[in-house]
Structure 1
Amino acid sequence: MSTNKLEDMFDDVPRVSVSKYTAAIKKTLEGRIPPAWVIGEISNLRSQSSGHLYFSLKDPGAQVPAVMFRGQASRLGFIPKEGMQVLAFGEISVYEPHGKYQLVVREMQESGEGRLFKEFERLKRKLAEEGLFDSERKKPLPLLPLKVAIVTSPTGAALQDFIRILKRRNWGGCLHVFPVKVQGSGSSQEIENAIRFVNELGGYELLVIARGGGSIEDLWAFNEERVARAVSDSSIPVISGVGHEIDFTLGDFAADVRAETPSAAAEIISSAYIETMDRLEVARHGLHDSLVDVLAEHRRELERLGRALKSVSPISALERAFLRLDELNTRFGSAFRSAVYDRRNDLRGLERRLRDQDVANRISRLRERLDRVGRRLDRSLVERVVSLRSRLDVAGATLRAISPEATLKRGYAILRDESGAPLGSASDAKKGSKIAATLRDGRLALSVDEVELDQGESGGN
């Protein structure tokens, strides 16, 4: 019979401390067991004041301790309860001081025995392999969408939040709501039909599908294959604003842009609008200032032209032409009478000299001289008349060029009041009075609706 001690039987087995042994277990478990989705029922739920959740996940065959730290727990879209069936994603960790392993939960969803999640993963892989989620298929969003269609429940909070954000940001576009059921029987069919109907209608720059947060069962309509394909087939850019930040649906992957919430979708739509409106406002102020400067310059130019116009107005020119014509007529008459008077005096002197000399010779010489004088007088008179006639023609042409008729032909009009007197100033007209405008080819009867005087003028109606 052997007398060896029990410990002598295990001489070849290493001896380690508890700490090292636990560390080896930790390294082995954490290094070889990858993160996974674990389906189970919550039990022994404890919520600490720190915000951390401690519980166990169990099924009929086993249970595993679990912890969910405050950062992840605060983002849950539901309140965990004792006995609730959940789908938890996390990794194994060993808490060395107690030698205890536990599941560190990073994300958790209510679960219907994992069937929906498995179906979600299957459809996601299938559609991804077909290329429905490829970035090359994504369409760019319009820079400034002003005609937007939204497919959502007309009574849900998602629509109200969406509209509230657009109103708060003063979005100035047109929003059309296409009402659908967003969960329950037939909801996916309604969503698909609405997306395809919006595309058939045309005219929309952007399509939004929206729903508030919820469990995977609540959001399942947006995970249906028919909805994902309708989103992918849309010729209109699509924003998916379904659920909360942690919720993902197949519609999100198929959409051109995923918004974390319906409110975030509204912010995406209105951001470019706000930026553009701000730029337009700056441009409007700059344009206004430029126009004010231009108008001021034009007003000064008009005032200068007005002063110049007064000096060359048709009436003033006509009056000066009349005066010039009268002057020329008077000078012509005076010159003619003076010439006749001089020639008559010459003839009388010749007659007297004729009487004092030999009549025949004197008459002959005088006749010759008279003939010469007569020819000179004729030439002088003809030249004088031609000269005066030429000046008169020039004056007449000048008069005709500035006459009212010629002025009217250049596009001007003569305004007269009801008595027929010309209007020389806007202040001569009264609001409601009748005036007549004479144009080159007729007359117009006008009614004065308003009288505006230039700056510096007084009076007015």
Structure 2
Amino acid sequence: MPQDARQILTPSQLNTLARDLLEGAFPLVWVEGELGNLSRPGSGHLYFTLKDARAQVRCALFKPKSQWLNFVPREGLRVLARGRLTLYEARGDYQLILDSLEEAGEGALRRAFEELKQKLTLEGLFETERKRPLPAFVRRLAVLTSPSGAAVRDVLSVLARRFPLVQVEVLPVPVQGEGAPAQIVAMLQRAYRSGRYDTILLARGGGSLEDLWAFNDERLVRAIAASPVPVVSAIGHETDFSLSDFVADLRAPTPSVAAELLVPSAQDLRARLRQLQRRVVTLQMHHLRRDQQRTDRAAIKLHAMRPRARLDMLHRRQNEAQRRLDAALHKQLDRLRARMRHADAVLRTMQPKRRLAVLRQQLESLRLRPRNAIARRLTHDALRLRSVARSLEAVSPLKTVARGYTILLNEDGHVVRSVNDARVGERLDARLADGHLPLRVIKPDDDT
């Protein structure tokens, strides 16, 4: 074989190929065996081997899944593991990397439980829409349970305490064991086919998943779903769930609670009856008062409709109308008399003689008024004129002239205030206190 045709692999490459083949060829697998070589280092991972009489396989459950286990792993314990097959390349050993680990016995039952639950869920047996409503008051109840168990005693005790009137029939059936599911199904079918009961109760005390397995039987689940009578399931304790609980029309946490849910409290019913009785009495009194008021109104109406009463009523109306008419006439007459008196007074004031006398007085008053007004006006104007004269006299140049001063006026009548305002030969007028003196301007050395 030529040198260049050979393919040479390293150990790591070979292990990688082997790992890829293992992981690709094997999906998730379930393995059941005994725990051995158990090791839990400080990292929190869990390492062990699963073995049987002839072989073993290495396994690893990493943190945090190793902390979620609901049991304590120990040597020799039989478990059920789920994981994927791979190769640990550092040693060349194949191993299982797990994602779940549970005890083998109950784990198998739990897996069967989940698979059957998923199957029945897909069929719609657990849908709320198909569940039947329970009657408001259960009259005849069938209890399917063990006649010697504590569950039947609890149910009967609660029913007797809360509602003794309910008719209870215990239909004995085995509640665990290999033949229990078939007998429970037969008794259930006989009960609802008889037509005697309006509700059926399945009851059992607590136990392990294996103890309660009879109520996870597919035949029983389908029989409950086919029942025309409402079925109540009370299997185990509050934390226990069975497929019968999911398919039943009502699931109760315990048999005692189921009994309390099925029947009302006699004490509550008595209180309710007393309340209803008081309400009925109140309504009756209300209706009686209403009917009495109607009767009184009818009697008054009938009394008013009698002929004599009708005539009396009309006579009273006539008298009242007559009284109002008389009052209105008197009131109208009083208004007319008042108007007459007012008109007479007005006419008296409008007589011609009296009117002429008044006009004469007014005329005499008006005749004197202009004279008085003119006299007042003249007096006022004289006073004002004297005041203005005094003011003018105080600022008059004549006052100054009277003291020996003279006012020179040029030919244009303007006051000569400076030597430069007069021309040679120009005639001036000198105003003195007692008259005018004509002047002519000459040169200083001119004799004329």
Length-normalised TM-score, structure 1: 0.41
